[in-house]
Structure 1
Amino acid sequence: MPKIIGRSLTEHREQVRNRVFQALRNQLYERGFDAITLAGVAAEAELGRTAMYNHFPDKESLLVAFVEEEANRYVRRLDEAVAAVDDPVDKLATFVRLQLTVVAEYHLPPGSTLASALAPDTYRRVAAHADPITNQLREILLDGMRAGRLPPEDPDVLIPMITSALASRHIVEVPPDQLEHAIATAVRFVLRAVGAKEKPGKTGI
């Protein structure tokens, strides 16, 4: 009988997944998805191949589970950060800052993109995790418009423009001591682009 990690079967499963995801994360950013094998991930996670297949029957299911876990963690992080501020323009600044911080933290894996690595139905399932992030941005923009802090514009036009701008790695591919400055510059750019207005009694956004 396989050794149980942790104090219960539930804790065992969680710890196994964490170890597998960490191993996958390392290998994704070192070699790319195409070069990864379940056996290789299992070896780095110090997990038997049979146990690995019990959790993830194939490489695609492993990648989907990993992306879902990463997306859910980020959505929670984003919700907490945005909820910590009241002003809608400050919320937008927080959104932009966190998006770029995450881009800087997670290097894109070499090799195939998700779109080419996964079957169409599976990719749509993974891509659906972007919906909470898009909805968060939509609510921030609408709140800003209702509060008179942003000019009335179609959010369906603004959202892809903002997300496209923030998807560029060039913004954060700078020396570590310049990262904060680069992100602050990008925040100011987005606020100007959407026409954010100064707070009453303030001399700057």
Structure 2
Amino acid sequence: MPKIEAGSVREHRAQRLAQLIDAAEAILSEGGVEALTAGAVAARAGIARNSIYRYFDSIDDLLELLVAREFPAWTAAVEEAVAAEDTPGEQVAAYVRANLEQAARGTHGWRASLSRGSLSPSARQRVRKLHTTLHEVLAASVDDLGDPQPELTVAVVQAVTDACVRRIDQGDDLQAVSAYATDAVRRLLARG
């Protein structure tokens, strides 16, 4: 049995997995997807190459872990921002702002690019399912508005959010993009 470097086997496993994901991120930032091999990740993390397969089955699995790594924190931040508002309209605006703030943290662009271009179809499907949680937060607020076309409203608000996230990913100023997006969404919601 390998020596553990934490208080429990579970903690050791979580720490080692984080090290492997950190190593993969560093390799991707320096050399791109082509440089991401099992051997490179193992060497960067300081463990034997065959040991990485205790944590994932393939490089595709590791890529999926990389793409999905920030989803729990992102989702929690959006849920918290929405819950802090009293009215459904302000909850929708908070949804947009919180997503843009999370995108501005700086890793969304490359994670999205990686998701689109390097994941297997099944991994992409699993990542899309993670987005469902965010859409459910938005849909609940739109439903509370009593909107006559809630699905269309959710789709348009999400399209505005997605377009503005891409602008953030391209380097646009968060404050300017956020102000624009929330104004656009408020106008959309006031149409009825």
Question: Shorter-chain TM-score: which interval?
Answer: 0.7 to 0.9
The answer as to whether partners of 2:67 and 2:115 remain within 8 angstroms in 1 is no
- Cα distance between partner residues in 1 of 2:112 and 2:121: 18
Q: Which amino acid aligns with 1:8?
A: S
- Cα distance between partner residues in 1 of 2:109 and 2:169: 12
| 2:167 paired with 1:170 | yes
How far residue 29 of structure 1 moved from its aligned partner, in angstroms, is: 4.1
Change (3 A) 1:92 1:31: farther
- Cα distance between partner residues in 1 of 2:135 and 2:191: 19
Change (3 A) 1:115 1:196: same
Alignment size in residue pairs: 189
- Cα distance between partner residues in 2 of 1:111 and 1:140: 26
The answer as to whether partners of 1:5 and 1:12 remain within 8 angstroms in 2 is yes
Structural mapping, 1:1-205, within 5 Å: 1-105=1-105, 106-109=107-110, 113-145=114-146, 152-168=147-163, 169-171=166-168, 173-174=170-171, 178-195=173-190
Q: Please, which runs of 5 or more residues in structure 2 have no aligned partner?
A: none
Change (3 A) 1:73 1:48: farther
The answer as to whether partners of 2:103 and 2:168 remain within 8 angstroms in 1 is no
TM-score normalized by the length of structure 1: 0.78
Query: Which structure shows the higher helix fraction?
Result: 2
SS of 2:133's equivalent in the other structure is: helix
Further displaced range: 164-173 or 120-129: 164-173
- Cα distance between partner residues in 1 of 2:112 and 2:139: 32
How far residue 129 of structure 1 moved from its aligned partner, in angstroms, is: 0.8
How far residue 81 of structure 1 moved from its aligned partner, in angstroms, is: 2.4
The answer as to whether partners of 2:60 and 2:119 remain within 8 angstroms in 1 is yes
TM-score normalized by the length of structure 2: 0.82
Q: Which amino acid aligns with 2:143?
A: L
How far residue 113 of structure 1 moved from its aligned partner, in angstroms, is: 4.5
1:201 matched to which residue of 2? none
The answer as to whether partners of 1:31 and 1:109 remain within 8 angstroms in 2 is no
- Cα distance between partner residues in 2 of 1:67 and 1:112: 9
Identity of matched residues, % = 29
The answer as to whether partners of 1:89 and 1:144 remain within 8 angstroms in 2 is yes
The answer as to whether partners of 1:6 and 1:12 remain within 8 angstroms in 2 is yes
Change (3 A) 1:107 1:171: closer
Q: Please, which runs of 5 or more residues in structure 1 have no aligned partner?
A: 146-151, 198-205
Change (3 A) 1:81 1:5: farther
How far residue 109 of structure 1 moved from its aligned partner, in angstroms, is: 2.2
Cα deviation code 1:106-164 (max 9, x no counterpart): 2422896424423322321221111111111100111123xxxxxx2422212222222
- Cα distance between partner residues in 1 of 2:112 and 2:135: 26
